[in-house]
Every structure is written in structure tokens, then in C-alpha cells.
Amino acid sequence: MTRHPLGVHASIAGGIEKAFPRAEQIGCTALQIFTRNASRWQSKPLDPVKVAAFREAMLKSPITQVFVHDSYLINLATPDDDKWQKSKAAFGDELRRCSQLGVQGLVMHPGAHLDTGEETGLQRIAAAFKEILAEAPENVQILLETTAGMGSHLGWRFEQLARIIDLVPQHDFGICFDTCHVFAAGYDFSTAEGYSAVMAEFEHIVGCEKIRLFHINDSKKPCGSRVDLHEHAGLGQIGASGFACLMRDHRFTAVAKILETPQGDEHEYDLRNLALLRQLAGETT
């Protein structure tokens, strides 16, 4: 039986390679990490010894897919030139780190236009990517994450993701589909009919083959609220029925699915959530 690549966002406390045993002990087959402090601009280069330890751990691990999430400070849509320069430099650094580590892809939030308007923001993101990609390693895929559309954040409508992809043809972007974000943004896939309609719309506008990763979070807030508040899978407004549709969709069996919810004491919540997803997928745990 095909096992879905399933996992969590794991801590790198004590060394980047330490994420592997942490995730393996709860049965993960996929993993997401930060490679630097996600709320600081500055970061030390990766230690080559740690990079070697990371690659060694990855080679031996039952975890088959590893993704990096970028720093929350990065905003490629910002109208502020100083922040834009810093964002481009930091994102270039994120790509180089991913290349060193040999991971599958780098997940990023497209950016917030800060009241300059949707199209101006999308153009700003595209201009930033063009500069960054001119100097970046080519072996790392950038995954644009769907957002909830809080404030002026872009990427909450499927058309915005398609627009970025169109504006930057020099890169083969992937998509990270965050279930909480997409639902909060106004796409209701909590029922079988809703799921079919939302995925058909995504297929038409972006293309389902672009989805390289799912963030499996339920939503505390209703559909269309545009508020990003994660709930444990099945316990929020999406509910188990929405996740069942996703876990049984054969188009996405090989696509990694990562939890971004609190792990709980002794990984109590992670274990429960991973077991639920495997059960919904029809896998025995």
C-alpha cells in the first residue's frame, strides 16, 4: 500500500540535522524546517559540518521529502525600498541554504502589498524574483504558499498565484496549498461537492500538478473570514469530511502533507493528527 508522505514542521534546536530523529520518532515520512531564525534578518552561514550531518541523516531517513519554510520577515511585495532590498537578500540566502542542504523546495508567502494595490504588489514580487533568480542556485524549487488574505497579503486568490507564475516564466514554481488558508480565503471544500468545485477551480486557474506540498491545518475561523488561525485537522470549520476528500484524492497521494499545528506534550497532538490523516486515507497505522 502506498504510504502518503506525511509529517510535521520540526524544530532544529541543537542543530539542523536534529530535525530528523525528532520527526522520525513520531513516524513522519515528510518534514518541514526553518534553516534560520524565522524572525531575524541576520543569520550565520550554515556550518559545513552541520550540512554534511544533515545530508547524512536525510540519506538514512525514512523521510522522503524535506521542505524549508522561509523567514516571516521577508516581503517581496513591500513598497519600502530598504525592506525590499533586505527581503531579496534574505530570500536569496534562503535559496542558497536549501541548495546546500539538498531539500525538495522552499516554501514562501508571496508578500503583502501594504495598500499599494494588488497589481502593483504582484509586479513588485515578480521584479524581486527576477533579480533573485538571476543569481540564485537553480536546483531549488520555490513553492508559493496559498495565504488566507489577511490585511494586504497576496496569494489568497488562485488568480494571484497564477499571475506570479505568468510574470516569472524563468522559474518552474510549485504551490504549497495550505488548507486553513485556502478555506479562510473563501474556498469552501468542507463537503465533497465543495472539494470537487474548489479543486476544479484550482486546476483551471493554476493547475493541480503544480501542488508540491500541502499544509494540513484546519481553520478556527469560518470560510471567507480571511483570518489565519490554525486548528487541529478535523476539529475546525473544515472538519474531517474536507480532509477525507483530500486524503482520498489520488492526484495527491505522492504529494507531501505537513502539519503546522501545536505538537502537544510528548507529541500527543501530532500523533493524533497523523493517525487521523492515515485513517482518512484508508491506510492502516
Contacting positions for Zn ion (CB under 5 A): 178, 215, 228
How near is the Cβ of 53 to Zn ion at its closest, in Å?
Answer: 27
Q: Which is nearer to Zn ion, 229 or 271 (CB)?
A: 229
How near is the Cβ of 6 to Zn ion at its closest, in Å?
Answer: 15
Q: Which residue is nearest to Zn ion (CB)?
A: 215
How many contiguous H segments (helices) and E segments (strands) does the chain have?
9, 12
Q: Is 267 exposed, middle or buried (0-12, 13-18, 19+ CB in 10 A)?
A: middle
DSSP notation for 147-170? ----TTEE-SSHHHHHHHHHH-TT
Residue matched to cell numbers 541554504: 97
How near is the Cβ of 132 to Zn ion at its closest, in Å?
Answer: 21
What are 79's three cell numbers? 513598497
How near is the Cβ of 56 to Zn ion at its closest, in Å?
Answer: 28
Q: Is 32 exposed, middle or buried (0-12, 13-18, 19+ CB in 10 A)?
A: buried
- Partners of 219 in the β-ladder: 230
Q: Which is nearer to Zn ion, 153 or 215 (CB)?
A: 215
Q: Which is nearer to Zn ion, 4 or 215 (CB)?
A: 215
How near is the Cβ of 75 to Zn ion at its closest, in Å?
Answer: 16
Q: Which is nearer to Zn ion, 57 or 246 (CB)?
A: 246
- E strand map for 204-262: 211-216, 218-219, 230-231, 256-259
Q: Which residues contact 44 (CB under 8 A, 6 or more apart)?
A: none
Q: Which is nearer to Zn ion, 100 or 105 (CB)?
A: 105
